[in-house]
């Protein structure tokens, strides 16, 4: 049950008279809180999503990386997410749909997010793997998101987005053998990605599980959630991570190249609309060259964090070898 303080915030944010019931959705990663759907009586909406974040160290971590650095990174991630919803999310339209925000508040033990229920808005479908059309829909969302924020200064967000970027993962880097090429070239890969001529905001955790897909009659086709790691960077980092989340190894071999082409086509189109001053030919050429580097960057994180992870497959290794060869 929501604490009385939290319930009062929810009612004020939605102009509701009463919380009729609460429906658990999921626990937050590493025990930092929970997400619930509240069913409301009266007010402007029938349901809302409440994300309760506790700032007390929960004392556990699924992969065993239970350090103070990890704890501080998580606390910062929720501050970033609050800033995203408060100061940034309203800049997007249907071209990159996200949940509307009703309220962002501090509580006695953390943060409370009161957000639009995307299920009620027509985005009730969840997937673990995607057909070609849905992969393209996700990449179109990313292209529109990246194009909207080209050259934006990520004030209040992570200076460098994504949860795996090198500056926030020194322990995972130390876990890699010093003789390994990814240990030796980790900083060079990171530098190349940071030195993009076309920085934008990246979602930072753009896996398939963080997209809510539309009911058949709905348009646009999907919306995104979970903005704890949004920040500056090269958009290709989101693209490689998204493809890795929804395509198996053999699908990456067969389909990734055409999907990258689709993303770049949509990025070109969206940038012509949002930023007509940008030379999109140069943008597309640079981002295409960044694709293997983005794979290598995430491969480096996984190798240190969980060296038996299933995403450390042959396609990822091939992209990593290509990235290192092109440094």
Q: Which domains does the chain have, with CATH numbers?
A: 4-115 (3.30.200.20), 132-325 (3.90.1200)
What DSSP assignment string belongs to 7-30? Answer: HHHHHHHHT-SEEEEEEEEEEPGG
Percent of the chain residues topping a pLDDT of 90 = 84
Helix (H), strand (E) counts: the chain: 9, 10
Beta bridge partners of 39: 21, 47
Q: What is the pLDDT of residues 7-22, one digit of tens each?
A: 999 999 999 999 999 9
State the pLDDT at residue 203: 98
Mean pLDDT of 31-55: 92
pTM of the model: 0.94
Q: How confident is the model at residue 239 (pLDDT cuts 50, 70, 90)?
A: very high
Q: How confident is the model at residue 58 (pLDDT cuts 50, 70, 90)?
A: low
Return the ∠ at Cα 267 (arms to 82 and 131), rounded to 5°: 85
Report the mean per-residue pLDDT for the chain.
Answer: 93
């Amino acid at each position: 049950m929501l604490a009385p303080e939290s319930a009062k915030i929810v009612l004020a944010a939605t102009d509701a008279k009463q919380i009729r019931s609460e429906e658990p959705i999921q626990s937050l990663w590493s025990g930092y809180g929970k997400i619930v759907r509240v069913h409301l009586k009266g007010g402007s909406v029938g349901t809302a999503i409440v994300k309760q974040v506790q700032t007390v160290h929960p004392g556990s971590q699924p992969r065993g990386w239970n350090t103070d650095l990890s704890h501080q990174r998580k606390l910062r991630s929720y501050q970033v997410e609050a800033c995203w919803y408060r100061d940034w999310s309203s800049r997007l339209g249907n071209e990159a749909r996200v949940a509307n925000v009703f309220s962002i508040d501090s509580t006695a033990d953390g943060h409370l997010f009161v957000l639009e229920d995307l299920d009620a808005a027509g985005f009730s479908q969840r997937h673990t793997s995607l057909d070609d059309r849905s992969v393209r829909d996700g990449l179109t969302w990313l292209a529109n998101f990246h194009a909207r924020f080209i050259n934006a200064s990520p004030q209040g967000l992570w200076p460098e987005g994504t949860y795996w970027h090198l500056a926030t993962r020194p322990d995972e880097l130390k876990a890699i053998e010093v003789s390994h090429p990814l240990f030796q070239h980790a900083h060079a890969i990171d530098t190349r990605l940071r030195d993009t001529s076309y920085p934008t905001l990246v979602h930072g955790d753009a896996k398939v599980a963080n997209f809510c897909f539309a009911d058949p009659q709905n348009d646009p086709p999907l919306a995104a959630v979970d903005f704890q790691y949004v920040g500056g960077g090269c958009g290709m980092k989101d693209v490689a991570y998204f493809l890795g989340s929804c395509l198996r190894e053999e699908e990456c071999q067969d389909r990734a190249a055409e999907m990258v082409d689709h993303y770049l086509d949509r990025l070109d189109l969206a940038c012509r609309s949002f930023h007509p001053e940008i030379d999109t030919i140069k943008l597309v050429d640079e981002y295409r060259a960044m694709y293997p580097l983005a794979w290598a960057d995430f491969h480096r994180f996984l190798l240190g964090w969980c060296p038996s992870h299933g995403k450390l497959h042959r396609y990822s290794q091939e992209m990593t070898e290509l990235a290192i060869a092109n440094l």
